[in-house]
């Protein structure tokens, strides 16, 4: 083996954790047991693989070890006998808890357990924070302390959130399955929303100093890749993956050395990850060919317009404005309308863009949203209304939730004040 | 799985009332897993019963006063939560207000009685018993057991369990108690609303309060005074409280 066994275990953890947990949950119906036994199987791998070598099929090895642990525990449990009987009686678990009958690498014709797991973790009857946390814990294998840190929550509170979600799945009877076709569109949209929320949590911390939490972004991308792999005909899943890749490609250019946010316009495009951009665009093109086109594909198409421009000046703003118009129809949210206004302004019609922003501000659909005032300030600045721009920057500054954003706005404010003074 | 649907209502309007009159019979007809359900008399008809230091304390009105209140309930049997949510979303009240879907406690949980077993034979038996008309001169009351979720000491809990069994046996012997079962914790609830054709779910009960419904009982009594007396004998009233509300007159 050229690869040290520790690396093989790490790689297996990344590739197989979710699959092993998902299989054990299906076969035992016990989420905690599944997690515990999967952890034990990885601990066993760390002991055994350096001694005996890495097994030919690490996933099958881990599933068997974890399954045997689960079986042992069920046998030892006080109610073990009854549980085993139940497991045998339940047609869903007809194969019992024996793990080695079926080749886990053989995916022909069987629904992947990881897909069941994603849909169950993202069930709409669970609180949205619980859906995100549970997906990260059970499918991605992040530890509870790591998830707690990522969401700036006390570890005990995060543990409670996870425990409660798992208890609800069992006692409220949330089914462990891929939803039937009549529920699928709405439930898939729910899964994509959870994954995008996870990505955004990582991409722009909702509070505090830590603007880029790369772990969450990477996990969200990995989970979306998995979803695309498992549901290849869902164009919006691919659209979301493309969107994440294209946004993520800018991560290094997005924050200056001092931690300050750098706007798209001023980013050093040499620091954009070209390989990620190319991948994003190719995933997007495949999704658009497949269709139907949905909001994630449109957002990815907008991101692709930015990514393909050699510099800020050559950005195809008319095309972006057109895409935003389509997006505003598919997803009529105030934030989309705000972005459309920016695109219209950047495409050359500054007055119309500003009018659209003012309209939004007057409608009061985005109360306390700092980007509304920040955008108005920016457009006023571009038009040369520096005094009005300063007033809008002050409003935005008072509402901005994160330190880098506040620093950015403060700098802009100082600039326009100096200009108008 | 068996679920309790708590149908909550707000201020009535003529428009809404017409929709309900038209749609509820259809909902009942189309809901195969429905075991039993009734509208309740208005919250003004409710009494809340506590027993402290051996004294029975009765107050008028429901255990919690809110703009939206429980106006009816249904006991349904479904394969899983998704099916229960679909049943709730078809209920016309969910188009205007909310329907809370709460699982019953597992039959092995303390306070649960094996009357709600999943097998359909017993389900049909229960449905038949609940469908039996209330005797002449009697009224059926819904008792909602309002608990605060703070665990009692082990001795107290054992006493509650023991006394509850005794209460059930006694009331059953007198033909008063017709049905009763503990519910899963309020945190296991899902609240269903349908707006613009879209089913909106939220995690938890329709109203978040410190005290929540921990179980229900149905009793047949000659009148509200007897119902209050019977309720005051329930051990839960020593620690928490029970709201007594007549079902709506037929």
| Strands lying side by side in the sheet with B212-221 | B55-60, B47-52, B241-246, B139-147, B212-221, B177-182
Whether residue A170 lies within 8 A of chain B, CB to CB, comes out as: no
Q: Is A408 exposed, middle or buried (0-12, 13-18, 19+ CB in 10 A)?
A: buried
What local confidence, expressed as pLDDT, does residue A211 receive?
A: 46
* Fold that domain B2-246 belongs to in CATH: Alpha-Beta Plaits (3.30.70)
For residue B109, give the chain A residue with the closest CA: A171
Nearest to A409 by CA among A357, A379, A370, A363: A370
Interface list for A 39-68 with B (CB within 8 A):
none
Whether residue A332 lies within 8 A of chain B, CB to CB, comes out as: no
For residue B3, give the chain A residue with the closest CA: A172
Q: Which residues of B touch A171 (CB under 8 A)?
A: 103, 105-106, 184-185, 188
**Would the CB atoms of A125 and B85 count as touching at under 8 Å?**
yes
For residue A414, give Cα distances in angstroms to A85, A395, A420, B101.
Answer: 73, 14, 10, 55
Whether residue B88 lies within 8 A of chain A, CB to CB, comes out as: no
**Would the CB atoms of B80 and A174 count as touching at under 8 Å?**
yes
Q: Which residues of B touch A126 (CB under 8 A)?
A: 203
| Residue pair A104/A60 in contact by the 8 Å Cβ criterion | yes
| Residue pair A397/A203 in contact by the 8 Å Cβ criterion | no
Interface list for B 16-55 with A (CB within 8 A):
none
Nearest CB to B184: which of A126, A172, A175?
A172
Tokens of B202: 């939220």
What local confidence, expressed as pLDDT, does residue B127 receive?
A: 86
Whether residue B203 lies within 8 A of chain A, CB to CB, comes out as: yes
| Residue pair B245/B41 in contact by the 8 Å Cβ criterion | yes
For residue B86, give the chain A residue with the closest CA: A183
For residue A179, give the chain B residue with the closest CA: B82
Q: Which residues of A touch B184 (CB under 8 A)?
A: 171-172
Whether residue A287 lies within 8 A of chain B, CB to CB, comes out as: no
**Would the CB atoms of A173 and B103 count as touching at under 8 Å?**
yes
Q: Which residues of B touch A125 (CB under 8 A)?
A: 81, 85, 190, 201, 203
Whether residue B84 lies within 8 A of chain A, CB to CB, comes out as: yes
| Residue pair A100/A58 in contact by the 8 Å Cβ criterion | no
Q: Look up tokens 């939004």; give the residue.
A: A360
**Would the CB atoms of A172 and B81 count as touching at under 8 Å?**
yes
What local confidence, expressed as pLDDT, does residue B242 receive?
A: 95
Whether residue A187 lies within 8 A of chain B, CB to CB, comes out as: no
* pLDDT mean for each 10 residues of chain A (421 residues): 79 94 94 96 96 93 96 78 56 42 47 92 96 95 88 91 96 95 94 94 60 75 95 96 96 80 88 96 97 96 96 93 94 90 94 93 84 93 94 93 86 90 58
Nearest to A342 by CA among A377, A394, A294: A377
pLDDT tens track, chain B, 250 positions: 899 999 988 777 888 889 988 999 999 999 989 999 999 998 889 999 999 999 999 999 887 777 778 889 999 999 999 999 999 999 999 999 999 999 998 865 555 554 544 555 677 888 888 888 888 889 999 999 998 777 778 888 888 889 988 998 898 888 888 788 889 999 999 999 999 999 999 999 987 777 889 999 999 999 999 999 999 999 999 999 999 999 998 7
List, in order, residues 6 or more apart from A256 with CB less than 8 Å away: A262
Q: How many CA atoms lie within 13 Å of A242's alpha carbon, on the beta-carbon side?
A: 29
Nearest CB to B203: which of A127, A179, A183?
A127
Q: Is the pTM of this model over 0.95?
A: no
Whether residue A102 lies within 8 A of chain B, CB to CB, comes out as: no
Question: What kind and span of H or E run contains B174?
Answer: none
**Would the CB atoms of B81 and A173 count as touching at under 8 Å?**
yes
Q: Which residues of A touch B188 (CB under 8 A)?
A: 167-168, 171-172
What local confidence, expressed as pLDDT, does residue A107 receive?
A: 45
Q: Is A297 exposed, middle or buried (0-12, 13-18, 19+ CB in 10 A)?
A: buried
What local confidence, expressed as pLDDT, does residue B220 receive?
A: 94
- Torsion from C-alpha of B40, B43, B46, B50, nearest 10 degrees: 120
**Would the CB atoms of A124 and B201 count as touching at under 8 Å?**
yes
| Residue pair A414/A392 in contact by the 8 Å Cβ criterion | no
Nearest CB to B188: which of A130, A168, A175?
A168
What local confidence, expressed as pLDDT, does residue A84 receive?
A: 57
What local confidence, expressed as pLDDT, does residue B249 receive?
A: 82
| Residue pair A188/A236 in contact by the 8 Å Cβ criterion | yes
């Amino acid at each position: 083996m050229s690869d040290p066994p520790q690396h093989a275990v790490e790689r297996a953890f990344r590739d197989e954790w979710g699959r092993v947990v998902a299989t054990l949950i299906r076969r035992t119906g016990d989420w905690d047991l599944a997690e515990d036994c999967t952890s034990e199987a990885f601990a066993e791998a760390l002991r055994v693989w350096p001694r005996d070598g890495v097994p030919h099929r690490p996933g099958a090895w881990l599933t068997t070890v974890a399954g045997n642990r689960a079986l042992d525990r069920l046998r030892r449990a006080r109610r073990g006998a009854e549980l085993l009987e139940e497991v045998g009686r339940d047609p869903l678990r007809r194969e019992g808890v024996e793990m080695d009958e079926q080749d886990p690498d053989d995916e022909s014709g069987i629904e992947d357990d990881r897909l069941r797991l994603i849909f169950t973790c993202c069930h709409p009857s669970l609180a949205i924070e619980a859906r995100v946390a549970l997906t990260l814990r059970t499918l991605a294998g992040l530890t509870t302390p790591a998830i707690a840190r990522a969401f700036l929550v006390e570890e005990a509170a995060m543990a409670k959130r996870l425990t409660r979600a798992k208890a609800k799945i069992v006692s409220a009877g949330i089914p462990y399955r891929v939803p039937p076709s009549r529920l699928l569109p709405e439930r898939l949209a729910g899964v994509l929303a959870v994954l995008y929320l996870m990505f955004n949590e990582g991409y722009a911390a909702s509070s505090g100093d830590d603007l880029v939490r790369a772990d969450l972004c990477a996990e969200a991308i990995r989970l979306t890749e998995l979803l695309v792999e498992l549901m290849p005909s869902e164009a919006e899943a691919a659209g979301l993956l493309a969107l994440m890749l294209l946004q993520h490609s800018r991560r290094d250019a997005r924050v200056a050395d001092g931690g300050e946010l750098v706007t798209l316009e001023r980013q050093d495009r040499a620091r954009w990850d070209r390989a990620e951009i190319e991948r994003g665009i190719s995933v997007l093109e495949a999704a658009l060919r497949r269709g139907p086109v949905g909001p994630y594909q449109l957002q990815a198409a907008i991101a692709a317009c930015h990514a393909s421009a050699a510099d800020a000046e050559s950005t195809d703003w008319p095309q972006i404005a057109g895409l935003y118009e389509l997006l505003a129809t598919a997803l009529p949210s105030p934030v989309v309308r705000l972005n459309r206004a920016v695109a219209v302004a950047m495409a050359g019609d500054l007055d119309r863009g500003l009018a659209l922003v003012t309209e939004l501000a007057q409608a009061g659909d985005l109360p306390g949203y700092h980007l509304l005032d920040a955008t108005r300030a920016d457009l006023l600045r571009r038009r040369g209304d520096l005094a009005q721009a300063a007033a809008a920057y002050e409003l935005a500054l008072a509402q901005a939730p994160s330190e880098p954003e506040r620093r950015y706005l403060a700098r802009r404010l100082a600039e326009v004040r100096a200009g108008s003074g | 799985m068996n679920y309790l649907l708590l149908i909550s209502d707000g201020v009535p309007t003529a428009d809404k009332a017409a929709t309900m009159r038209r749609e509820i019979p259809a909902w009942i007809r189309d809901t195969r897993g429905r075991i039993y359900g009734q509208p309740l008399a208005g919250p003004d008809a409710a009494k809340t019963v506590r027993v402290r230091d051996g004294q029975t304390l009765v107050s008028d009105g429901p255990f919690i006063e809110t703009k939206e209140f429980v106006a009816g309930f249904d006991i349904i049997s479904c394969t899983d939560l998704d099916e229960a949510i679909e049943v709730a979303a078809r209920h016309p009240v969910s188009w205007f207000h909310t329907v809370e879907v709460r699982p019953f406690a597992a039959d092995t949980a303390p306070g649960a009685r094996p009357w709600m077993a999943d097998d359909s034979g017993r389900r049909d038996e229960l449905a038949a018993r609940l469908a039996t008309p209330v005797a002449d001169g009697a009224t059926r009351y819904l008792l909602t057991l309002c608990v605060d979720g703070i665990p009692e000491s082990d001795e107290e809990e054992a006493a509650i369990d023991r006394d509850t069994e005794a209460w059930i046996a006694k009331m059953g012997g007198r033909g008063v108690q017709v049905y009763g079962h503990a519910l899963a914790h309020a945190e296991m609830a899902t609240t269903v609303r349908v707006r613009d054709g879209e089913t909106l779910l939220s995690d938890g009960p329709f109203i978040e309060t410190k005290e929540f419904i921990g179980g229900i009982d149905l009793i047949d009594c000659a009148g509200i005074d007897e119902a209050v007396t019977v309720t005051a004998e329930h051990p839960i009233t020593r620690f928490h409280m029970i709201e007594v509300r007549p079902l709506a007159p037929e």
